[in-house]
Structure formats: structure tokens, C-alpha cells
Amino acid sequence: MISEKMQKLVAGSSVTRAMFEEGNRLAKIYGRENVYDFSLGNPNVPAPEAIKKAVIDIVTNEDPVKLHGYMNNSGYEEVREAVANSINERFGMNYGANNIVMTVGAAGGLNVIMKVLLNPGDEVITFAPFFGEYRNYVSNYDGELVVVSPNTKDFQPKLDEFETKITAKTKAVIVNSPNNPTGVIYSEETFKKLAEILVKKEKEFGTSIYLVTDEPYRELAYGGLSVPYVPKYYHNTIVGYSYSKSLSLPGERIGYLVIPSDIDDYDLVFQAAGVATRVMGFVNAPSLQQMFVARCLNESTDLSYYERNRNTLYEGLLEIGYEAQKPEGAFYLFLKTPVEDDVKFSEMAKKYNILVVPGTAFGCKGYVRIAYCVAYETIVNSLPKFKELMEEIKKG
């Protein structure tokens, strides 16, 4: 009796989430320490101490009627202003409160902007491998996700193929850098070329094509690598940000959209984002979270923790004989599976209590995603198991 759309969604329910549940099941049987659960991007680094202090200070000193009350659907004006100022300082932009919409995480923000932009049948392009939920965020509004095939050489987007896939119906492009699931940072060159192509195609078709950049992993870049700030390269850019990973707050559902004043139809898009926030039932990003992130804009997570995990995992796997792209950011490693079928490989891995997500879930078969935002011991203890798995495979 549920809707046809939901029947399909339930049937093919998120592989990642199913793994998460499987991990909990195995942990009950074998003990948490004997399960190598790399399935979910749930940070193991605690939120900065400053969050706790901010929360206590806010509930102690703020007027509860204001703190817990309704505000503009886009968020508290002073919070949006603080967020804008912080972006301006870091990236040399010139945003104000009216360029920021506080959202229920990046997932909430992406849904808001898709709701704002898409008519049924509109096309949204993304680059494989990609976060599988994009398919839902687009189909929620009857749009069609168009996927550019993966470039398994270095996992930068295939821009030639991209150009051929842009049509008069292309309403938006979603990019995600540092990338889930590869950990690759899209280069400045990539964004320059991407922008060139978009400008050309906008002219050719007489349309506006919005570049939506999903940035939950912006702050997670290793070895001093910098992550290009996309609105600098292309005028019609909308940023979806989340504090889930940068401050280890994924359950708290807090993020924001940047809607720059120089995008086409700025006024309408900005106003519609507030209205969409309301009618979709978010109403507003949770008020306490808005207030406490505004006080922690200069806080950061413990990058060295993830970097150690990355190095130990990457080097350990290579030593065993696996092949992988070295992650530059985020907390995912995209492993080439030594057997062709990535679903089969992830099933084989389960026998060693290793949980990884098949690349097919990200539109890229022959790989699995390993989320290394786990305890360091999990990495260390999993390596002998990865080795046993490799030995089993070699034996055939």
C-alpha cells in the first residue's frame, strides 16, 4: 500500500546503511573489536571540546524563547552573517547573510536546492564514482540523474564525456570534492575546464546550468593540499556544506547552502530556498545547532588522526598486494578489487568480519569503498584479515 517510488527504494535500500546494520549484528556476535566495519562515514574523532562549551554557554545564557523558537526559515540572521564572514575571510569572497541558508545537513541542503531547481524531466549530471544518494535527491523531484563514467586512472572527472552529455535539459551538475568514495580532490585545472565547458554550453543552449558542489569533506585534506573554492571558478555555483565531518556532528544535522548574489535569478533562488525549507518540513535547521556552530567556526577536527589511519591503511594494503588510489582527502579509500566482481569481493570480505561497500553502489564496479574514520586499532587489526582474504583469492 506504500507508494510505488518507495516500494523500489525499500527494495533496493541503501547498501551502505544495510552494511551499518550488519556491522551492529556482527558486533553483537563477535564483539565490536573483532569486526572491521568500514561501511559508514560516521566519524570516530570526537567533536571538538569547544562544541560542549558552546552548548552549555548557550543554554545557560540565551533567552530560551529565542533559542528554541522559530526564526526565518533560512536561519538566524546573525548566524548566517557569521557563516558568511567566515567564508569571506577564508576564501576572499564577499557574502552576506542573504547568501546563506542554514540547512539540515548537506543532505537537507541538496534536497532543498533540487526542489528549488528541478522540473520533472530536468537532467542533473554527476561524475562516477558518486555518492549514491544523489540518485534519490534528484528523483525526489522527478529529475533524471545523468552519470559520466568513471576515470579510473586518477578519478578526476571525464570532462570530454561530460561535454557530450550536456543538453538543453541540463539544469544542474553535482560535484563532490574531496570525493566520496575515492578521497580524490578535484584539481583547480578540473574546475577551470569544467567552468569553460559550462559557460560555452549555457550560451549554446541559452540556459542556466547550476553547479552544485557538495562539500561535507572540504576541511579533510591531507599533506597541506588545498581544495579549490568552486564559486571562484564559475558564476552559477551553489555550495552545499555540512559540519557533519568537519566538526564530527553527523547526527546533529547542521549545514548550509551558499547562494551567491551573482548566480542567475539569485532573488528567486534564494527566496525559493527558504520556502522549500519550510514546505518540505525542515522548517528551519535546528536552532541550538545553528547557534553552537556559529560559535565554533574556527574549530577543526583532528586531521592527524584520519591522516594516520589513511597512511597505515593505504600502505598496509599496498604491501599486501592490493591496488588503490591514494586518498588526498575525506576519509575513504577506494580499493580495486582483486576479483572482478566487487559485490562478490565484499561478500568474501564479510567472512573475515570486514565490512566494505561495493563500488557499484557508487556507479563504479570493480572497486570497494573503505571508510577509514574508525579506531586506529581497527585499521591495524584488519590488515592481517585483508591479507588472509588476498591469500584466499590468490588460491582461487
- Which listed residue (22, 27, 50, 67) binds a second copy by CB under 8 A? 67
**Location of C-alpha cell 580495486:** 336
64 vs 92, beta carbon nearer a second copy: 64
The Cβ of residue 252 has, within 10 Å, a number of other Cβ atoms equal to 21
Binding piece for a second copy, criterion CB under 8 A, among 6-14, 26-34, 80-88, 349-357: 6-14
- Which listed residue (64, 92, 224, 396) binds a second copy by CB under 8 A? 64
Binding piece for a second copy, criterion CB under 8 A, among 118-126, 183-191, 302-310, 322-330: 118-126
104 vs 194, beta carbon nearer a second copy: 104
Q: How far is the CB of 149 from a second copy (least distance, A)?
A: 24
**Taking CB under 8 A as the criterion, which residues in 348-387 touch a second copy?**
none
Q: Can residue 98 be called a binding residue for a second copy (CB under 8 A)? A: no
**Taking CB under 8 A as the criterion, which residues in 220-259 touch a second copy?**
248-254
Q: Can residue 70 be called a binding residue for a second copy (CB under 8 A)? A: yes
**Location of C-alpha cell 545523468:** 146
Three-state SS at 289:
helix
Cell of 240: 552545499
**Taking CB under 8 A as the criterion, which residues in 19-38 touch a second copy?**
20-21
* Interatomic CA distance for residues 288 and 300, integer angstroms: 19
* Interatomic CA distance for residues 257 and 213, integer angstroms: 10
* Interatomic CA distance for residues 103 and 107, integer angstroms: 8
- Alpha helices of the chain — where are they, by DSSP H? 4-11, 15-30, 49-61, 64-67, 77-91, 105-117, 133-139, 159-165, 188-205, 266-279, 287-294, 303-320, 342-350, 376-395
**Taking CB under 8 A as the criterion, which residues in 316-345 touch a second copy?**
none
**Taking CB under 8 A as the criterion, which residues in 41-60 touch a second copy?**
42-47, 51-52, 55-56, 59-60
* Interatomic CA distance for residues 20 and 48, integer angstroms: 25
Q: How far is the CB of 87 from a second copy (least distance, A)?
A: 22
214 vs 328, beta carbon nearer a second copy: 214
The radius of gyration of the chain from alpha carbons, rounded to an integer in Å, stands at 21
- Which listed residue (281, 340, 394, 395) binds a second copy by CB under 8 A? 281
* Interatomic CA distance for residues 58 and 292, integer angstroms: 7
Q: How far is the CB of 373 from a second copy (least distance, A)?
A: 10
46 vs 384, beta carbon nearer a second copy: 46
Binding piece for a second copy, criterion CB under 8 A, among 84-92, 105-113, 219-227, 347-355: 105-113
* Interatomic CA distance for residues 214 and 114, integer angstroms: 12
293 vs 349, beta carbon nearer a second copy: 293
Q: How far is the CB of 342 from a second copy (least distance, A)?
A: 23
Q: Compute the 3-state secondary structure of the chain and give helix, strand, coil in percent, each to the nearest 5.
A: 45, 15, 40
Q: How far is the CB of 359 from a second copy (least distance, A)?
A: 20
Q: Which of 133, 142, 132, 122 has the alpha carbon at shortest distance from 210?
A: 122
User: How far is residue 31 from each of residues 26, 48, 145, 291, 387, measured CA to CA in Å?
Assistant: 7, 28, 40, 38, 21
Would you give the end-to-end CA distance of the chain in angstroms? 46
| Mode of pairing for the β-strands spanning 170-175 and 210-215 | parallel
**Taking CB under 8 A as the criterion, which residues in 125-184 touch a second copy?**
133, 136-137, 140-141
Q: Can residue 284 be called a binding residue for a second copy (CB under 8 A)? A: yes
Q: How far is the CB of 174 from a second copy (least distance, A)?
A: 13
Binding piece for a second copy, criterion CB under 8 A, among 2-10, 91-99, 158-166, 303-311: 2-10
Binding piece for a second copy, criterion CB under 8 A, among 16-24, 89-97, 300-308, 380-388: 16-24
- Exposed (0-12), middle (13-18) or buried (19+): which is 240, by Cβ within 10 Å? buried
